[in-house]
């Protein structure tokens, strides 16, 4: 004969959420301790000083600067507006593989730079680069 107890019988439950919290805490603690114990080892490298580097200008690269007022300088020499195209033709004839680097002053107009680019392309020069830093002021 089975007698029932007046106290209700509860089944045991395992709460999983606190266990997950504890496992994440232990994992994070273990990672922090292991990262603090690693010693960074590197190879010593003797880097050259920036003052020791002397660059020589490349003779195949022609620097063209456009300054405010549509002033054009080719290799730091002022060239009048009507002489830009003949000078570019002469450079292309003397060296068909000539490279052109175009830079512009902050005050130079966008249209002046595009006009110069069209002139360079019309001479047959195909290797054109653009400097993204402001052009240094040319000697006057």
What CATH number is given for 52-130 in this structure? 3.30.420.270
Q: What is the pLDDT of residues 44-98, one digit of tens each?
A: 888 877 775 566 666 778 888 988 887 889 888 898 888 888 898 888 888 888 8
Under the banding of pLDDT at 50, 70 and 90, the label for residue 139 is low
Report whether 103 contacts 65 (CB < 8 A). yes
Average pLDDT over residues 21-46: 85
What pLDDT score was predicted for residue 62?
87
Q: What is the pLDDT of residues 3-17, one digit of tens each?
A: 777 787 788 887 888
Distance, CA of 118 to CA of 114 (rounded, Å): 6
CA distance 121 to 44: 48
Q: How confident is the model at residue 30 (pLDDT cuts 50, 70, 90)?
A: very high
The domain ranges of the chain are: 52-130
């Amino acid at each position: 004969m089975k007698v029932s107890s007046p106290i209700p019988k509860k089944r045991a439950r395992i709460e999983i959420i606190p266990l997950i919290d504890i496992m994440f805490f232990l994992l994070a603690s273990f990672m922090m301790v292991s990262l603090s114990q690693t010693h960074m080892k590197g190879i010593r490298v003797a880097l050259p000083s920036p003052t020791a580097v002397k660059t020589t200008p490349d003779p195949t690269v022609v620097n063209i600067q456009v300054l405010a007022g549509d002033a054009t300088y080719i290799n730091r020499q002022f060239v009048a507006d009507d002489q830009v195209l003949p000078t570019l033709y002469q450079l292309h004839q003397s060296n068909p593989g000539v490279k052109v680097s175009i830079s512009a002053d902050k005050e130079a107009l966008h249209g002046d730079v595009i006009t110069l680019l069209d002139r360079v392309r019309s001479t047959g020069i195909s290797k054109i680069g653009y400097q993204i830093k402001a052009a240094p002021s040319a000697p006057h």
